[in-house]
Amino acid sequence: MSAGKSEYLPPAEIGCKTDPALEVLLWEFLSRLDQLLPVPDLTQTVSWLSAAPSVLAVCLQSVYYPDQLKTLLRHHRSLG
């Protein structure tokens, strides 16, 4: 590992066990955060994906018909 850079190692690789109380606390925090954040609509999603083409490419790799998804996203982007 070089100086100034950290490398993620899963707990199983370094032999750490997670604290069940910490897991519960983290789960409660994420659940409450999820309730506070608004769900983005399709227009917001298209805007975000258009602003970050590499993210769009990753999303399209997980879709069975990527050309159809591209067409749909372009259509919604042209609407507004």
71 part of a folded domain: yes
28 part of a folded domain: no
Q: What is the pLDDT of residue 29?
A: 92
35 part of a folded domain: no
26 part of a folded domain: no
- Write down the pTM of the prediction: 0.34
Q: How many domains does the chain have?
A: 1
Residue pointed to by tokens 């899963």: 10
Q: What is the DSSP letter of 6?
A: -
- pLDDT tens over the chain, length 80 residues: 445 566 776 666 665 566 788 888 888 998 999 889 888 888 888 888 778 778 777 777 777 777 887 888 888 888 87
6 part of a folded domain: no
10 part of a folded domain: no
Domain that holds residue 70: 42-79
69 part of a folded domain: yes
9 part of a folded domain: no
Q: What is the pLDDT of residue 28?
A: 92
Residue pointed to by tokens 């999303």: 59
